[in-house]
Amino acid sequence: MAKQAKLLNDAEQKRLAAVIDSMRYSTRNHTAVALSFYAGLRACEMAALRIGDVFDEQGMARDTIYLAAAQTKGSDTATVLVNKKLRTQLQRYAAAYPKQLAKPNAPLLFSGKGAGFTAQTVVNMFARLYKLAGIHGASSHSGRRQFVTELADKGVNARVVQALARHKHLSTTQRYIDINDSKLRKAVELI
């Protein structure tokens, strides 16, 4: 089995945010991180997002993102729910990039030349951000894994977590959830 993407602790999340804050496209990069950590999006899904998928005609962040089959890993349509933290970041994006927002078919994640990101570009961006933040073992999948683990840790029903992660099989979702000694100790103390 492949090595799991690293989960970030609070200090690492703060270092990541500080690195992003120091960059030219900080709002775009914070948005990519928010899509990963708050909605569990995969690199290919982020790369496929268009402005109109995420924002309505008035420039407001949608509360639900509908992914077409061509935008997903499994070639199935998917629904992504937007929580308050993600919506707040998306509204920052809208304020920072009004010209981008005026083009519903434009890519959400864009390069300095205005072209859209590919899945590999998203993977590379996350690798660069983590390297600059001194975080080893993290990847573009870390946010997705953290999304699933945090839902499970907060007691969300496994089938609900599976649906939010857009996994076909519960066993896939279960592999994402981090288990460590601290969690095991807390669990046995519940008895």
Q: For the segment 17-48, what is each residue's pLDDT rounded down to a tens digit?
A: 999 999 999 999 999 999 999 999 999 999 99
* Per-residue model confidence (pLDDT) at position 1: 46
How far is Cα 154 from Cα 76, in angstroms, rounded to an integer? 28
Question: pLDDT per residue over 79-96, tens digit each?
Answer: 899 999 999 999 999 999
Strand partners, 80: 65
pTM above 0.85, yes or no: yes
Retrieve residue 137's tokens: 């073992």
How far is Cα 104 from Cα 119, in angstroms, rounded to an integer? 20
| First CA to last CA distance, the chain | 33
Strand partners, 66: 79
Retrieve residue 175's tokens: 């592999």
Domains of the chain plus CATH, in order, are 10-143 (1.10.443.10)
Q: What is the mean pLDDT of the chain?
A: 90
Q: Please count the residues of the chain.
A: 191
Single out the residue of 51, 18, 55 nearest to residue 33, CA to CA: 18
Average pLDDT of the segment spanning 148-164 = 88
